[in-house]
Chains A and B, each alone.
Chain A
Amino acid sequence: MPLDSTLQGKRDFKVVGTRPLRPDGIDKVTGRAKFGADATAPGMLVGRILRSPHAHARIKKIDTSKAEKLPGVKAIVTREDLPDHTDGDALLYDVLYNIMAREKALYEGHAVAAVAAVDTRTAREALKLIKVDYEVLPHVTDVDEAMKPGAPILHSTIFTDGLEPKPKKPSNVVRRYEFGHGDVEAGFKKADIIVERTFKTEATHQGYIEPHACLANVGPDGQGELWVCTQGHFMVRDTCARLLGMDISKLRVTASEIGGGFGGKTTVFIEPVALALSRKANRPVKVVMSREEVFKASGPTASTSIDVKIGVTKDGRITAADATLRYQGGAFAGSPVEFGAMSAFACYDLENARTIGYDVVTNRPKQAAYRAPGAPMAAFAVESVIEELARKVGMEPIDFRMKNAAREGTRSSYGPTYGPIGLLATLEKAKQHPHFKAPLSPNQGRGMACGFWFNFGGQTCVSLNVNSDGTVALSVGTPDIGGSRASMCLMAAEELGIPYDKVRAIVADTSALGYNDVTDGSRTTFATGMATILAARDAIKKLTARAAQIWGISAEAVTWEKGYAKPAGSNAGNFPPMSIAEIAAQAGATGGPIAGHHEYSADGAGVSFATHICDAEVDPETGATKIVRYTVLQDAGKAVHPSYVEGQFQGGAVQGIGWALNEEYIYGKDGRLQNAGFLDYRIPVCSDLPMIDTVILEIPNPGHPYGVRGVGETSIVPPLAAIANAVSAAAGVRLTSLPMSPPRILAALDRKAAAE
Chain B
Amino acid sequence: MKEATGLLAREKGRAFVLAGGTDLLVRLRTGFIEPDLIVDIKRITATRSIDVRSNGFRIGAAVTGAELNEHAKLTKAWPGVVEAANLIGSKQVQGRCTMTGNLCNASPAADSVPALMAAAAKVVIVGPKGKRTIPVEQVPVAPGKTSLKKGEIIESILLPKRPPRSGDAYLRFIPRTEMDIAVVGAAVSVTLDAKGMCTDARVALGAVAPTVVLVPEAAKALIGTKMDKAALDALAAACSAACRPIDDKRGTSEFRIKVAGVLARRAAQIARKRAGGK
Q: B96 — which chain A residues lie within 8 A by C-beta?
A: none
Q: A571 — which chain B residues lie within 8 A by C-beta?
A: none
Name the contact of B250 in the complex, choosing from A622, A680, A687, A747 (C-beta under 8 A): A680
Is B276 interfacial (CB 8 A cutoff)? no
Of B58-66, B115-123, B171-179, B187-195, the one contacting chain A is B171-179
Q: B258 — which chain A residues lie within 8 A by C-beta?
A: 746
Q: Mark B17-51, 1 if CB is under 8 A from A, else 0.
A: 00000000000001100000000000000000000
| Nearest chain A CB to B206 CB, angstrom units | 15
| Nearest chain B CB to A568 CB, angstrom units | 64
Q: Are A687 and B255 in contact (CB under 8 A)?
A: no
Q: Are B179 and A666 in contact (CB under 8 A)?
A: no
| Nearest chain A CB to B105 CB, angstrom units | 14
Q: Mark A663-697, 1 if CB is under 8 A from B, else 0.
A: 00010000000110011101011011000000000
Q: Mark A179-214, 1 if CB is under 8 A from B, else 0.
A: 000000000000000000000000000000000000
Q: Are A742 and B179 in contact (CB under 8 A)?
A: no
For the complex, give the distance between the alpha carbons of A675 and B262 in Å.
Answer: 27
For the complex, give the distance between the alpha carbons of A666 and B249 in Å.
Answer: 7
Query: How extensive is the interface on chain B, given as a class?
Result: 20 to 34
Is A582 interfacial (CB 8 A cutoff)? no
For the complex, give the distance between the alpha carbons of A621 and B180 in Å.
Answer: 19
Is A661 interfacial (CB 8 A cutoff)? yes
Known: A124-B31, A675-B249, A743-B252. A687 touches B177 (CB 8 A): yes
For the complex, give the distance between the alpha carbons of A742 and B256 in Å.
Answer: 11
Is A92 interfacial (CB 8 A cutoff)? no
Q: Which residue of B lies closest to A623 (CB)?
A: B255
Query: How extensive is the interface on chain A, given as a class?
Result: 20 to 34
- For B178, B179, B248, B263, which residue has the most chain A Cβ atoms within 10 angstroms? B179
Q: Are A685 and B178 in contact (CB under 8 A)?
A: yes
Q: A684 — which chain B residues lie within 8 A by C-beta?
A: 176
Q: Which residue of A lies closest to B262 (CB)?
A: A621
For the complex, give the distance between the alpha carbons of A680 and B248 in Å.
Answer: 11
Q: Which residue of B lies closest to A625 (CB)?
A: B175
Q: Which residue of B lies closest to A128 (CB)?
A: B31
Q: Which residue of B lies closest to A291 (CB)?
A: B30
| Nearest chain A CB to B174 CB, angstrom units | 9
Q: Which of B160-206 contact A (CB under 8 A)?
A: 173, 175-181, 183
Is B251 interfacial (CB 8 A cutoff)? yes
For the complex, give the distance between the alpha carbons of A742 and B31 in Å.
Answer: 32
Q: Which residue of B lies closest to A743 (CB)?
A: B255
Secondary structure class of chain A's binding surface, majority of residues: loop
Q: Are A662 and B176 in contact (CB under 8 A)?
A: yes
Q: Are A742 and B251 in contact (CB under 8 A)?
A: yes
Q: B255 — which chain A residues lie within 8 A by C-beta?
A: 623, 742-743, 746-747
Q: Which of A715-756 contact B (CB under 8 A)?
A: 741-743, 746-747
| Nearest chain A CB to B270 CB, angstrom units | 15
| Nearest chain A CB to B10 CB, angstrom units | 25
Q: A623 — which chain B residues lie within 8 A by C-beta?
A: 255
Q: A624 — which chain B residues lie within 8 A by C-beta?
A: 173, 175
Name the contact of A622 in the complex, choosing from B31, B252, B262 (C-beta under 8 A): B262
Q: Which residue of B lies closest to A620 (CB)?
A: B262
For the complex, give the distance between the alpha carbons of A675 and B249 in Å.
Answer: 7
Name the contact of A743 in the complex, choosing from B180, B181, B254, B262 (C-beta under 8 A): B254
Q: Which of B76-102 contact A (CB under 8 A)?
A: none
Is B259 interfacial (CB 8 A cutoff)? yes
Known: A621-B262, A622-B262, A666-B249. A679 touches B181 (CB 8 A): yes
Q: Which residue of B lies closest to A668 (CB)?
A: B249
Is A292 interfacial (CB 8 A cutoff)? yes
Q: Are A742 and B178 in contact (CB under 8 A)?
A: no
| Nearest chain B CB to A119 CB, angstrom units | 15
For the complex, give the distance between the alpha carbons of A682 and B248 in Å.
Answer: 15
- For B175, B178, B249, which residue has the most chain A Cβ atoms within 10 angstroms? B175
Q: Which of A617-642 contact B (CB under 8 A)?
A: 621-624
Q: B173 — which chain A residues lie within 8 A by C-beta?
A: 622, 624, 742
Q: B30 — which chain A residues lie within 8 A by C-beta?
A: 292
Q: Are B251 and A743 in contact (CB under 8 A)?
A: yes
Q: B183 — which chain A residues lie within 8 A by C-beta?
A: 742
Q: Are B180 and A688 in contact (CB under 8 A)?
A: no
Q: Which residue of A lies closest to B248 (CB)?
A: A674
Q: Mark B186-228, 1 if CB is under 8 A from A, else 0.
A: 0000000000000000000000000000000000000000000
Q: Are B252 and A682 in contact (CB under 8 A)?
A: no
Q: B248 — which chain A residues lie within 8 A by C-beta?
A: 674
Q: A662 — which chain B residues lie within 8 A by C-beta?
A: 175-176
Q: A666 — which chain B residues lie within 8 A by C-beta?
A: 249
For the complex, give the distance between the alpha carbons of A684 and B180 in Å.
Answer: 11
Q: Which residue of A lies closest to B31 (CB)?
A: A124
For the complex, give the distance between the alpha carbons of A621 and B236 in Å.
Answer: 12
| Nearest chain A CB to B9 CB, angstrom units | 28
Q: Are B176 and A688 in contact (CB under 8 A)?
A: yes
- For B177, B183, B263, which residue has the most chain A Cβ atoms within 10 angstroms? B177
Q: Are B175 and A661 in contact (CB under 8 A)?
A: yes
A-B interface, 9 closest residue pairs, ranked by CB to CB distance from nearest: A743-B255, A687-B177, A621-B262, A674-B249, A666-B249, A743-B252, A688-B177, A662-B175, A687-B178
A-B contact pairs, 5 of them (CB 8 A): A292-B30, A666-B249, A685-B179, A687-B176, A742-B173
